[in-house]
Amino acid sequence: MSPAASADGGPARQHYTAELEQLALQVEMMGVLVDQNLERMRDVLRGGDASTATQAVAADDRIDAMNVSLMERCYELLRREAPVASDLRLIVSVLRVTPELERIGDLALRVVKLQPDHELLVAVPRAFDVLETMADHAIDRYRDALRAWSALDLDLADRVAAEAPPGVAATQLVEALLAYGGTDGVAVTLRTMVAGQALDRIADHAAVLGARVRYLITGDPDHLAAEVR
Amino acid sequence: MAEQRKTFHQELDEIRDEIVQLAALVSEFIPRGTELLLANDMRGALSLIEADDEIDALTLRIEEQCYHVLALQQPMASDLRSIVTAVWLTGELERSGDLMVNVAKAARRIYGANLDPRLRGLIERMSEEAARLMKLAIDAYVERNASLGAALDDIDDTLDQLHRDYIEAIFESHADHHLGLQPAVQLALIGRYYERIGDHAVNIGQRVQYMVTGWLPEQTGAARLRARADGEVDEGDTSSP
Amino acid sequence: MTRTAVLAMAEGAVAGLVLVVALVVAVAAWWLGAATERRRQRAVLADSVRRLELDEPTGPDDGPEPLVAVLERAVRDLRSEGELSAHARGRLQEAMDALPQAVLIVDASGELVERNAAAETFVAARHADALVEAAVAELLDAALKGEAASRTIDLFGPPRRVLVVTTTPLGPEGAGTAVAVVDDITERRRLEAVRTDFVANISHELKTPVGAIGLLAETLEAEDDPEVVERLALRIQNEALRVGRTIEDLLDLSRIELGEVSVPEPVEVGRIVDEAVARIRPAAEQAGITVTASVPDALVVAGDRRQLTSALSNLLDNAVKYSDRGGSVEVDAVGRDDEVVLTVADHGIGIPSRDIERVFERFYRVDQARSRETGGTGLGLAIVRHVVANHHGSVEVDSRLGEGSTFTLVLPAAPAPTSGEVRDDEPAAGAPAPTSSPPIPERL
């Protein structure tokens, strides 16, 4: 990630460029933290392990802390440097991207917090299968988005942004739940749907990340339009 | 300088007015989408889906305007927060509009399905509740009312409860063979769309809180982390001597 | 608005003229001492009078005084004209504020220069009104470019509203201003819908059974089988009954619409409740629906017993029709200050909120199919509304789909007995009313 290498660099200017590079790097680190928590989410979903769930909750505080510090950095830069063109684009992109990452972290945590009810989640095997597939899909989308960000890969960003929301999985999930005849049907459904919705939305947010990366690379407002499809 | 400040604040006011307009478009979508869903109105569904373009166009215009102000005006702390908040709000609002587009699309998929009165009643109530939350969120924004913004999270509980009742009602209706599998699935998804609009309203409330006070919900997590880190240092200190 | 502009110009002219004249008079006074100067003074004053196009005094040339008098009179006249114009302006603003339509006027730069009271809603507006504000701004832009424009805005509310924004250019092109008028046509739209629906419905309600009767009679003519003949005859009878009921209700309605409550007399609420419940009893039993009533002693309203019973019967009729088998309907009455509040509550299918405004219209039906099944005429609630209006009361409905409906009638209580006794202690005139009617047992 090399934002706006400026040729006319006095020491102050160089310092500024370095700060921008650091900013982009810190976003990537935050992205990795979120990635780790998504992995924990998948583990908890599969095995219902309580200690992994505790770890995830603690890690989310670090994600929150990074979000706050990134926002402060952005403000500092906007105030001090009055950035223009691609520098401004980077900073506003960071301002838009970090809340998305933070939200993805929150959604992962929402799934993790279902851990005490893990039995209910696995009660309908077909639905549970769908949940696992949804989790895999969401994490794949997220990783693509993160790679697009760090490599500034326009093609990859394009693909992530264009990915249609996976309505099929949500449909299959409800179908499986409706077919279930157990007495705890409603309890199972509510939990499973919370998980399904969170996983769905992680994929949604990943698509928004992709659109943001495209805008960052090209500066073309039409690429924002793709985000608001 | 005074002249520049004035035009700057005019631009901020303009951004606010356009956010209010965007929110009004989105808020209108909620009863409109619900009505076409309950009335089986396919023409209405199509026209809502098309009207979403207007929302998208306005969203982009506001966002571009925000970047323009950021680039040209060098705003100070609280103004900066207002602009960043505006950018965030466009995202929340635009996605709420999309959710009603989803409702319209689902209405087309369940065309002709016979919904029993209880389900219809719950859909109406979820819709009213989502619209109410959205209005309160915008009131909080226009009035810069941080406590109202913060209260939205609790107010949203009503919608969550309605959503639970609704899922239960779908189950019963499906079990009684009043409701086929496909419509049941679509209805379950529709319920989630309303619930998510509520979530977006809660997000807007938090953003408003941030705009007014500079407080981010994530700061609680950050503070916890610091407290934990301090705690570890303390433990290290006591164990070292 | 051009009138206002003219008046404003007149005001400006007054101020200017007052200044000129004051100056002239001061100069004149200064010069007054020297008699030799008088001729020159007079010439100057005469010149002023001519330039201001005032009438020169006729008569002998005897100094500046007559000219000063002419000028003073002119100032007085203009002053009072100025006051008049300010007054006219105020009156105009008052008239604008009295308009139900919102009126907004912008200058050539698009800045808002005038608005009336109704327009306040669309300035710095929020929620749905913000959309109207945006449309006004957009259409005014077009009007400033010389194009009159108009747009209808459907707002889903709640409440649902239909507004028309119309803008018109004013004054010369380019330098002109523009006016926007926002008109709320919700009620007009609703009435149009009521009228067209009424015409369509009444022809449907009368034509269908009449057509059926004709067809059945034709079939009957060619039929020999006594069993079939009997069946056909029965159906003809049913259809005739149906038309008869509709016509009966229509006549009832038109009588009640005339607003004739002959001479209001004290009517015991307990009695009309009993009567109405007795009337609905067979239908309720057949549908397996329990009707319970609880009316405290001595509630008396002033009115027409027959009309009130008819209104209550119609409410009960609906409540029973829209309840599911095994359901229940409750009638309650309470005295409150100088009113009696009667409620009829069911736990049936309820009314969708988009229909709730229209249920009191003639022939308006929430559920066409169900209504046909149960044989309603579609006039019941219209009758209720008119009866209540005749009694200076009100009727409201609170309903949730799938949970049921509650109709609330508020009627003015009959004036307290003049004997001076406290009403709470003593039942009102006549025998004590039955306090409640026994619940109708569910059909076995």
Which pLDDT belongs to residue C438? 44
Q: What is the pTM of this model?
A: 0.74
* Mean pLDDT score of chain B: 88
* Mean pLDDT score of chain C: 81
For residue C124, the chain B residues in CB contact (below 8 A) are 17
Which pLDDT belongs to residue C432? 43
Q: For residue C149, which of C132, C164, C134 has the smallest C-alpha distance?
A: C164
Q: What is the pLDDT of residues A26-79, one digit of tens each?
A: 999 999 999 999 999 999 999 999 999 999 999 999 999 999 999 889 988 888
Contact A68 B216 (CB under 8 A): yes
The alpha carbon of B68 is separated from its chain's Cα centroid by a whole number of angstroms, namely 25
Write the DSSP string, B182-238.
Answer: HHHHHHHHHHHHHHHHHHHHHHHHHHHHHHHH---THHHHHHHHHHHHHHHHHHHHH
- What are the structure tokens assigned to C432, written together? 């004590």
Which pLDDT belongs to residue B38? 92
Which pLDDT belongs to residue C12? 65
Percent of chain B with pLDDT over 70: 93
What's the whole-number mean pLDDT along residues C92-120?
92
What is the CATH number assigned to the segment(s) C265-412?
Answer: 3.30.565.10
Who wins on pLDDT, C310 or C416? C310
Is A96 in contact with A209 (CB distance < 8 Å)? no
The third-level CATH classification (topology) of the domain covering C99-184 is Beta-Lactamase (3.30.450)
Interface test with C, best of B21, B114, B122, B136 (most C CBs within 10 A): B21
For residue B56, the chain A residues in CB contact (below 8 A) are 225, 228-229
Binning pLDDT at 50, 70 and 90, where does residue C369 land? low
Measured between alpha carbons, how far is C318 from C374 in angstroms, rounded to an integer? 10
For the cut 50, the answer to whether the pLDDT of residue B189 exceeds it is: yes
Which pLDDT belongs to residue A10? 66
Q: What is the pLDDT of residues A171-213, one digit of tens each?
A: 888 888 888 877 888 888 888 988 998 998 899 899 889 988 8
Residue A130 lies in a domain: yes
What's the whole-number mean pLDDT along residues C354-364?
76
Q: What is the pLDDT of residues C22-50, one digit of tens each?
A: 777 777 666 666 666 777 778 888 888 88
Q: Among all residues of C, which ones are annotated catalytic?
A: 204
Residue A181 lies in a domain: yes
B20, B121, B139 member nearest C401 (Cβ): B121
Which pLDDT belongs to residue B236? 42
DSSP assignment letter at C305? H
Q: What is the pLDDT of residues B46-60, one digit of tens each?
A: 999 999 999 999 999
Interface test with A, best of B53, B218, B228 (most A CBs within 10 A): B218
C134, C155, C401 member nearest B120 (Cβ): C401
Which pLDDT belongs to residue B147? 94
Which pLDDT belongs to residue C444? 38
Using beta carbons and an 8 Å cutoff, which residues of B are at the interface with C?
A: 17, 20-21, 23-25, 27-28, 30-32, 35, 38-39, 116-122, 124-125, 128, 135, 138-139, 142
SS3 C183: strand
What is the CATH number assigned to the segment(s) C191-257?
Answer: 1.10.287.130
| Domain limits, chain C | 2-97, 99-184, 191-257, 265-412
Looking at the domain covering B2-216, what would its CATH class be?
mainly alpha
Interface test with C, best of B22, B38, B54, B120 (most C CBs within 10 A): B120
Binning pLDDT at 50, 70 and 90, where does residue C361 land? confident
Contacts of A93 (CB under 8 A, 6+ apart): A212, A213, A215, A216
For residue B62, the chain A residues in CB contact (below 8 A) are none
Q: How far is CA C372 from CA A225, C242, C357, in A?
A: 51, 11, 21
Q: Provide the ipTM.
A: 0.82
Residue A16 lies in a domain: yes
Measured between alpha carbons, how far is A105 from C212 in angstroms, rounded to an integer? 69
Q: What is the pLDDT of residues B77-125, one digit of tens each?
A: 788 899 999 999 999 999 999 999 999 999 999 988 888 888 999 999 9
Domain span at residue A111 reads 11-227
For the cut 90, the answer to whether the pLDDT of residue C135 exceeds it is: yes
Closest Cα of chain B to C94: distance in Å?
A: 30
Q: What element of type H or E holds C262?
A: none
What's the whole-number mean pLDDT along residues C329-338?
90
CATH of the domain at A188: 1.20.58.220
B84, B181, B195 member nearest A178 (Cβ): B181
For residue B194, the chain A residues in CB contact (below 8 A) are none
Q: What is the pLDDT of residues A127-159, one digit of tens each?
A: 999 999 999 999 999 999 999 999 999 999 989
Which pLDDT belongs to residue C256? 73
SS3 C404: strand
